[in-house]
């Protein structure tokens, strides 16, 4: 997502590798559903749920984000829910971040940005020629 597409006050980072960060949503009755994290910011999260799972706007849920170096367990409020044929897309806002969780979230967003930049740089660089191909060109 380019900078011009950012409409929010905080930068959203797309999560292109689903193994990098996982999410579990928990409702008031304790029912859980796994979600694929699509994007993350210091203000909220975008996630994809299995088809048929719908959540009304304004509903508050517990959200457990798990990365390789820790977990964040906080409250989110559903701001957007779009159901499709194969999945449901949720937009959620963090609504009860403790200071320690805010710090962890900031580190997660920073690490994700750094990871994406490294991937981008590695794709742009042309591969170095092998030693044997350099000798053959001379």
- Residue 39, sorted as left (phi over 0), alpha (psi -120 to 50) or beta, turns out to be beta
pLDDT of residue 128: 46
User: What 3-state class would DSSP assign to 106?
Assistant: helix
Residue 127 lies in a domain: no
Residue 108 lies in a domain: yes
Is 57:76 a contact under the CB 8 Å cutoff?
A: no
pLDDT of residue 23: 95
pLDDT of residue 123: 65
pTM: 0.77
Residue 18 lies in a domain: yes
Residue 2, CA atoms < 13 Å, CB-side half-sphere: 1
Residue 134 lies in a domain: no
pLDDT of residue 127: 44
Residue 136 lies in a domain: no
Residue 129 lies in a domain: no
pLDDT of residue 74: 94
Find tokens 């996982």 and name the residue: 22
pLDDT of residue 117: 84
pLDDT of residue 65: 94
pLDDT of residue 7: 56
Residue 69 lies in a domain: yes
Residue 66 lies in a domain: yes
Structural domain count of the chain: 1
One pLDDT digit (tens) per residue for the chain, 138 residues:
444 455 557 778 888 777 788 999 999 999 999 999 999 999 999 999 999 888 999 999 999 999 877 889 999 999 999 998 999 999 999 998 999 999 989 988 988 888 888 877 776 444 444 443 334 333
Instruction: Domain of residue 64: give its range.
Output: 3-120
Q: What is the CATH number of the domain that holds 95?
A: 2.40.10.220
The strand ranges marked E within 68-118 are: 70-83, 87-94
């Amino acid at each position: 997502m380019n900078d011009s597409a950012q409409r929010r006050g905080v930068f959203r980072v797309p999560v292109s590798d689903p193994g990098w960060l996982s999410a579990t949503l928990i409702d008031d009755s304790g029912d859980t559903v796994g979600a694929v994290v699509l994007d993350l910011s210091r203000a909220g999260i975008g996630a994809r749920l299995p088809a048929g799972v719908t959540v009304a706007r304004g509903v508050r849920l517990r959200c457990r984000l798990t990365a390789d170096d820790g977990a964040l367990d906080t409250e989110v409020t559903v701001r957007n829910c779009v159901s499709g044929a194969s999945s449901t897309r949720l937009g959620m806002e963090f609504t009860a971040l403790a200071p320690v969780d805010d710090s962890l979230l900031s580190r997660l967003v920073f690490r994700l940005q750094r990871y994406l930049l490294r991937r981008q740089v590695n794709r742009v660089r042309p591969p170095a020629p092998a030693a044997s191909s350099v000798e053959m060109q001379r």
